[in-house]
Structure 1
Amino acid sequence: MTTGAAETDTQASSVADSSNITPSSLEKTLTEKLNASHVDIEDMSGGCGQAFQAMIVSPQFEKKNSLARHRLVNSALKEEIAAIHAWTPKCFTPEEWEKRQAQ
């Protein structure tokens, strides 16, 4: 079965190296495709571009449950996600983000 994702860490590393996936490239794509008002990407892999954690705030998440939000993000980053080892998005609406920041 072919999913488009890298099957081994070595393969993922090779794909990530050749595709130049960086926190800033992920942030740019999410901002453009999801009209995100806030995107914070953290490289959890120590700089090799294999594991990222993201905080994403977008009005497109309104009235969507967590699964639908993740699907929206994964769709926007389909090619990038296929090239990395680990991806953890945390998705918030602008209202949810404001409440979180106020706490």
Structure 2
Amino acid sequence: MAMAASEIEELIRAGIPDARVEITDLAGDGDHYAARVIAPMFKGMPRVRQHQAVYAALGGRMGGVLHALQLTTEAPVEE
């Protein structure tokens, strides 16, 4: 069963409330997505920890209902 892009976005925003989230359906099949997550909490955090925070927000759905997620994370750029 595929997962909707809106559901992925909602889960990430619920787990990381101040995040900006962009979801792209890579294959048009509702099964392969790219997510770009920009959050202040990522400042100074190693990339692997950033990704772990996103996976935690997804609540164990990776590899199950969410088959593939190309993940890009970053802290907002300060001007």
The TM-score with structure 1 as length reference comes to: 0.66
Counterparts of 1:84 and 1:35, CA distance in 2: 21
Matches within 5 A, 1:57-96: 57-81=38-62, 82-95=64-77
Which runs of 5 or more structure 1 residues have no equivalent in the other structure? 1-14
Higher helix share: 1
- Give secondary structure in 1 for the equivalent of 2:60: helix
Q: Match of 1:35?
A: 17
- Give secondary structure in 1 for the equivalent of 2:45: coil
Q: Aligned-pair distance for 1:78?
A: 3.0
Counterparts of 1:87 and 1:36, CA distance in 2: 21
Which runs of 5 or more structure 2 residues have no equivalent in the other structure? none
Q: Aligned-pair distance for 1:84?
A: 2.2
Give the paired residue count: 78
Q: Aligned-pair distance for 1:65?
A: 0.8
Tell me if the contact between 2:14 and 2:57 (Cα under 8 Å) persists in the aligned partners: no
Cα-to-partner distance string for 1:13-47 (whole Å, 9 max, x where unaligned):
xx32xxxx21111111111211233110001121x
Query: Which structure exhibits the higher relative contact order, with contacts defined as CA atoms closer than 8 Å and separated by 6 or more residues?
Result: 2
The sequence identity of aligned pairs, in percent, is 24
The TM-score with structure 2 as length reference comes to: 0.82
Matches within 5 A, 1:5-16: 15-16=1-2
Q: Aligned-pair distance for 1:86?
A: 1.1
Pairwise CA RMSD: 1.8
Counterparts of 2:47 and 2:53, CA distance in 1: 10
